[in-house]
Amino acid sequence: MRKPRDFDAQLKALGDKARGLKSRKVQQLGELVIATGADALSVDELAGALIVLAETKEAGKKEAWARRGAAFFQGRARRNAPATDRDVDGPPAQPGGSQPASVRKGAA
């Protein structure tokens, strides 16, 4: 005889998993805002910029933004890679660091 399924437990587990995924997504979005330096913007400015981005229908602009975003993440991956994975023979990425001046002022 087959054991009956506990639908309530399965539903609760799915709900817990969904809450965890949403929480992780929100945390990663916040980390992205900080990593890009957008935390220096006011909430109104950031919201307005995101609205304009979401409403944009021009494929060319979206492709340019995607390329710039990909370059941002590739640059971060190279900076965060262990020294053995880096191209040590190449020139340094940026001698003064890659943070914008507004972020460096707050760190000093």
Residues in Cβ contact with 76 at an 8 Å cutoff, skipping those fewer than 6 apart: 35
Amino acid at 63: E
Q: What is the C-alpha separation between 3 and 108, in angstroms, rounded?
A: 64
For the chain, give the DSSP string: -PPPP-HHHHHHHHHHHHHHHHHHHHHHHHHHHHHHTGGGS-HHHHHHHHHHHHH---HHHHHHHHHHHHHHHHHHHHHHS-GGGS-TTSPPS-TT-SS-HHHHHHH-
Residues in Cβ contact with 19 at an 8 Å cutoff, skipping those fewer than 6 apart: none
From residue 57, alpha-carbon distances to 42, 45, 53, 61 in Å are 25, 20, 9, 8
> What pLDDT is recorded for position 56?
94
> What pLDDT is recorded for position 3?
83
For 32-89, write each residue's pLDDT tens digit.
999 999 999 999 999 999 999 999 999 999 999 999 999 999 987 666 655 544 444 4
> What pLDDT is recorded for position 106?
45
For 5-31, write each residue's pLDDT tens digit.
899 999 999 999 999 999 999 999 999
> What pLDDT is recorded for position 1?
73
> What pLDDT is recorded for position 91?
43
> What pLDDT is recorded for position 94?
40
In the structure, what pLDDT confidence band is assigned to residue 100 with cuts at 50, 70 and 90?
Answer: very low
